[in-house]
Amino acid sequence: MMMFLLAAALSCPSLKTATARGAVGEDAQVTVIPAERAAVYTCQFKGTDAELIIEVGTLDAAGQFAHFAETACRGGHDVAPLKAIGNEAIACTVQTAEKVVGRVRNRTFVIRLSAANAKSLRGKASALAEQVAGNLF
């Protein structure tokens, strides 16, 4: 019974650990951080050369998403809308990381994927966002 509780504590509610490890490496360490500020929870998957952070929160109203997304991508570039991911989603590059900021009903999510080899991170981040959005529905 204790092993089950420990495994549940190390599980991210919005993304399977195996899927995250496929993006950041099999050696990834998993950390789930409970509510802090506006976030409901944060999941961190940290590998040797890559890191994935998923932050899930809530909005009071769907109309607040544009401001939320703008704030999450502040200082970034290459901002692009993403279709068929949740109710709304955008991708942006912030420093050396790719971010996907999305909304499913009143739940928000921010995916930040960074790696030593930053090639093709947008595609990986978008694929991860599809998984997270699906799990939030």
Which DSSP helix (H) or strand (E) runs through 100? strand 97-104
Q: Is the pLDDT of residue 3 over 80?
A: no
Q: What is the mean pLDDT of residues 88-116?
A: 94
Distance of alpha carbon 3 from alpha carbon 73, whole angstroms = 39
Burial class (CB in 10 A: 0-12, 13-18, 19+), 106: middle
Check residue 10 and give its pLDDT.
59
Q: Is the pLDDT of residue 37 over 80?
A: no
Contact 90, 77 (CB under 8 A): no
Angle between helices 121-136 and 17-24 (to 10 degrees): 170
Domain extents for the chain? 2-136
Joined together, the tokens standing for residue 13 give 């509610």
Largest CA distance in the chain: 48
Pick the CATH number of 2-136 from 1.10.3470, 3.10.450, 3.40.1000, 3.90.25: 3.40.1000
Contact 36, 42 (CB under 8 A): yes
The predicted model scores a pTM of: 0.85
Share of the chain above pLDDT 90, in %: 61
